[in-house]
Amino acid sequence: MTGTGKLVRLILRRDRVVLPLWVVLLGLVPAGYVASFEGLFPTAAERVAYAQVSASNAGFVTLYGPLHGSSLGELVAWRAGFLPVLVALCALLTVIRHTRADEEAGRTELIGAAAIGRPAPLAAALITTCAASLLLGAVLTAAMLGQGMPGAGSVAFGAEMALTGCSFAGVGAITAQLTSSARSARSIALVVLGVAFVLRVGGDVSALGDGSLSWLSWLSPLGWVQHLFPYGENDWWPAVLAVLFTIGTAGLAAVLLTRRDFGAGLLPARLGPSSAAAGLRSPFALAWRLHRGLLLGWTIGFALLGLIFGGVGGSVLDIAADNPDLGDIFARLGGSSALVDSYFAGTAGIVGLIAACYAVQATLRLRDEEQSGHAEAVLTTAVSRYTWAGTHLLFSLLGPVVVLAAEGLATGLAYPQGDLGAILAGTLVQLPAVWVLAALAVLAFGLIPRLSAVAWAGPALCLLILLVGQTLQLDQWFLDLSPFTHVPHLPGGDASVTPLVTLTLIAALLTAAGIAGLRRRNLPD
């Protein structure tokens, strides 16, 4: 453990922008829901009616988890039910970045030449990530107290998010020991997160019926933390499970670290063929080989997301038809048809933002290829920089078309009462905004390659604006910073070509500037 403190300071130095970003952003988002619920459901009777419908609705339970109360705090905590997934994602990626990714890049070996114990990098990554998760919980607790929420419930709400981050920090630590590739470690960790979410959903949805599979929720760390029920039961027994899970996964990761060679993983690496296939004799074929797994994974994920959103769309109609107590509320929102259109337009914006994350990730594969030395090997042949970059950017620009189309089609098929064409159009209309964020990533890669990760600030800012911009009534100039603010809200809104053309031109100019910067700078840099 020698040198752990110094490595913690190094991690804080390297993540001085990204770490506070997700800690503060995710910690403050639930506070914005307080004003939203107060505005939509100002009376206790309206909140009770809404809670009764939501608690028995399979679609809502799938997205947000179980709801066992109707108080303002319980509704806010329930509405933030998808937030633990985001906290878990940030935590496991942070741990892998400072363990397996550093080891793969050779930084750990360089640091290990000093007076640093072998467990120190893993310990530093876990300590930092768990401390960040606890800080996130403290920020959330303070924000909810500032909104006048009860103290015990606010502490339980903060503990829910903090324990989620700590639990999946341990998951990231284990997957970092399994493979020699950071990319593979991330993939395994994401699969574990997906399984945890599915187990939570299966158990909670089963509890609405005969409850025969409700025990599945207790196999998932996400299920444990969501059974704290802040502002209601404030049940702390699930927190004990999360703490034990964190200790157990961290301890197992430490044991696995001693069972493998430095630079290697416990799972043996698969040997490739001795010679390349004929299909790998062009730059595009190589780019396809590198991007196909990512594209397939995102496409499947978007299709599943579409099935969920489409199913919830039918639930919105059920609420409007079967609950006369909510008639006045829906009338204020424009009626059931307008409400359904607004729902699909809102989910299209969320899906567009997620697609932008895929586009940024695909774009930054250029930086990965540069840092690993693969780009240098390719460019020693007759391949130009324009061709090399262009083949990768095809996936940055056309990949979002595929994933958004998959989501739109799945949503329309899962909601047969709606217009498939209108739902698909509402999803695909997000493309120009997605391309703008991808173009910003190209610009960062071309002009400031060592700070290419700053490209993630674009989706983070857009997420902030999407989650709390309207709720907190922020100034319009701030809302306009997000390209998604300018996208027509379809279905149901006015279709306008002008903002789409403008956003596309902006994306083209930013991409051209990034490519010009790539042409003029050193490679690697």
* 297 lies in the same domain as 257: no
pLDDT, residue 318, reads 59
| Tally of domains in the chain | 2
Q: In the block, which residue shows the tokens 């603010």?
A: 485
* 503 lies in the same domain as 375: yes
Q: Radius of gyration of the chain from Cα atoms? A: 24
CA dist 442 and 518 (Å) reads 9
- pTM for the full model? 0.77
CA distance to 22, 152, 514, per residue, from 29 (Å): 11, 19, 33
Where is the domain boundary, 240, 267, 294? 267
Where is the domain boundary, 238, 267, 296? 267
* 410 lies in the same domain as 452: yes
Tokens of 273: 């063929």
For residue 125, being part of any structural domain is answered with: yes
For residue 275, being part of any structural domain is answered with: no
**Distance between the two ends of the chain, CA-based, in angstroms?**
33
For residue 435, being part of any structural domain is answered with: yes
For residue 274, being part of any structural domain is answered with: no
For residue 272, being part of any structural domain is answered with: no
Q: In the block, which residue shows the tokens 């493998």?
A: 260
pLDDT, residue 315, reads 63
What DSSP state is assigned to residue 465?
A: I
pLDDT, residue 319, reads 55
For residue 49, being part of any structural domain is answered with: yes
Q: In the block, which residue shows the tokens 């095809």?
A: 394
CA dist 446 and 26 (Å) reads 30
* 95-134 tens-digit pLDDT: 999 998 888 878 877 777 777 878 889 999 999 999 999 9
pLDDT, residue 112, reads 72
Residue (of 16, 140, 36, 149) closest to 466 by Cα position: 36
CB 507 within 8 A of CB 432: yes
pLDDT, residue 472, reads 58
Identify each DSSP E strand in 147-236 by its residue range: none
* Amino acid symbol at 34: V
CA distance to 232, 285, 381, per residue, from 278 (Å): 63, 9, 17
* 311 lies in the same domain as 364: yes
Q: Is 106 left (phi over 0), alpha (psi -120 to 50) or beta?
A: left
CA distance to 58, 202, 204, per residue, from 211 (Å): 13, 10, 8
* 209-239 tens-digit pLDDT: 667 778 888 999 999 999 999 998 888 999 9
* 146-198 tens-digit pLDDT: 888 999 999 999 999 999 999 999 999 999 999 888 878 888 888 898 888 88
CB 164 within 8 A of CB 89: no
What 3-state DSSP class applies to 24? helix
* 218 lies in the same domain as 338: no
Q: Where are the alpha helices (DSSP H) in 326-475?
A: 327-332, 335-363, 365-372, 374-379, 385-414, 420-428, 431-447, 457-464
Where is the domain boundary, 234, 267, 300? 267
Q: How many CA atoms lie within 13 A of 511 on its CB side?
A: 24
In degrees and rounded to multiples of 5, residue 115 shows phi and psi of -80, 70
Residue (of 424, 422, 459) closest to 438 by Cα position: 459
Tokens of 346: 């809102």
Tokens of 167: 């639990």
Q: In the block, which residue shows the tokens 């991409």?
A: 511
CA dist 456 and 454 (Å) reads 5
Q: In the block, which residue shows the tokens 């586009």?
A: 359
Give Cα 371 distance to the centre of its chain: 25
CA dist 366 and 395 (Å) reads 11
Residue (of 112, 152, 149, 124) closest to 37 by Cα position: 149
For residue 195, being part of any structural domain is answered with: yes
* 246 lies in the same domain as 382: no
**What residues contact residue 440 under an 8 Å CB cut-off, 6+ apart?**
455, 458, 510
**Packing angle between helix 283-322 and helix 365-372, nearest 10 degrees?**
150
* 499-515 tens-digit pLDDT: 899 999 999 999 999 99
**What residues contact residue 288 under an 8 Å CB cut-off, 6+ apart?**
none
pLDDT, residue 333, reads 41
* 480-489 tens-digit pLDDT: 888 988 888 8
Q: How many CA atoms lie within 13 A of 208 on its CB side?
A: 19
Cα torsion angle, 354, 356, 359, 364, sign: negative
Residue 120 sits in which domain range? 1-267
* 175 lies in the same domain as 198: yes
* 213 lies in the same domain as 315: no
For residue 12, being part of any structural domain is answered with: yes
* 301 lies in the same domain as 160: no
* 236 lies in the same domain as 313: no
* 383 lies in the same domain as 450: yes
Q: In the block, which residue shows the tokens 């107060």?
A: 38
CA dist 102 and 110 (Å) reads 10
* 223 lies in the same domain as 255: yes
Q: In the block, which residue shows the tokens 């990965």?
A: 368
Q: Quick count: other Cβ atoms within 10 Å of Cβ 156?
A: 25
Mark the ranges of the chain whose per-residue pLDDT is less than 50. 326-327, 329-336
